[in-house]
Amino acid sequence: MNLRQHPIGRATAVALGLALLLLAPLPLLPDSSVQTSTTIARPPETIFAYVTTPANWPHWHPSSLRVDGQVARSGQVGDQVDEDFRVAGIKGHAVWRVTERIAPWRWSISGVTGHGGRGTVTYRLRPVAGGAEFVREFRYGRPNLLFVLLDAVWLNRRIFAESEAATRNLKRSLEALAPSLVVAAPRTISAQLKP
């Protein structure tokens, strides 16, 4: 009896083939994206200074656990930040590099994780009556068919919920600042917002 005729051999071959199909790299897959926004009753300059200072991320974004590197000031193009995160219940580590800065309107970072994942976060601000609209977009790679399936049924919704919580936290924190702190330096704002 050859392997293809043996029931266990056929099942093993099918399982192996399925695993290879699900895990095979698919470099041409489009990125997945999560975008959230809120209107914050603060000047764009204040919002920009706060959100682009990485030391502040753990104060408002529930996925950000710890940051290290150039974190004490608003990120400049080329700055690198190491971040420990928990996204959708999964802990990891990312290395981010600031790739764009048009103060106070647009700021982007691109990063990679220890497992080869990649992503880009972009903050955009637009003036509105009484403050600014803050838009956060997170784009992340989908390296294989298994990731695409998990993203479709579970991951993207979890990331969206965490991003929504982050924008609510950001709005609440910045609007709770005393008027005298609205024009304060990011470090002073951070000290006021610590739990």
- Residue 88, judged by CB atoms within 10 A of its CB (0-12, 13-18, 19+), counts as middle
pLDDT of residue 146: 81
> Cα–Cα distance between 136 and 125 in angstroms, integer?
9
Task: Answer whether residue 10 is part of any domain.
Answer: no
Residuewise pLDDT in 10s, the chain (195 residues): 454 555 566 666 555 555 555 555 666 677 899 999 999 999 999 999 999 999 999 999 999 999 999 999 999 999 999 999 999 898 999 999 999 999 999 999 999 998 778 999 999 999 999 999 999 999 998 787 888 888 889 899 999 999 999 999 999 999 998 665 544 444 545 555 544
pLDDT of residue 16: 54
pLDDT of residue 127: 97
**What's the total number of domains in the chain?**
1
Residues facing 119 on adjacent strands = 111, 140
Place of tokens 């083939």: 17
Task: Answer whether residue 17 is part of any domain.
Answer: no
pLDDT of residue 10: 62
CB 74 within 8 A of CB 186: yes
For residue 178, give both structure tokens: 């005393």
Place of tokens 């199909």: 21
> Cα–Cα distance between 50 and 126 in angstroms, integer?
15
> Cα–Cα distance between 62 and 141 in angstroms, integer?
21
Task: Answer whether residue 143 is part of any domain.
Answer: yes
Residue 109's domain comprises 30-193
- Characterize the bridge pairing of strands 64-69 and 32-40: unpaired
Task: Answer whether residue 8 is part of any domain.
Answer: no
State which H helix or E strand residue 137 sits in: strand 131-140
CB 124 within 8 A of CB 105: yes
Task: Answer whether residue 21 is part of any domain.
Answer: no
Task: Answer whether residue 2 is part of any domain.
Answer: no
Q: Kindly report the CATH number assigned to the domain that includes residue 117.
A: 3.30.530.20
Task: Answer whether residue 68 is part of any domain.
Answer: yes
Residues facing 107 on adjacent strands = 101, 123
**Closest alpha carbon to 42 in 124, 116, 133:** 133
Q: Model pTM?
A: 0.80
pLDDT of residue 114: 80
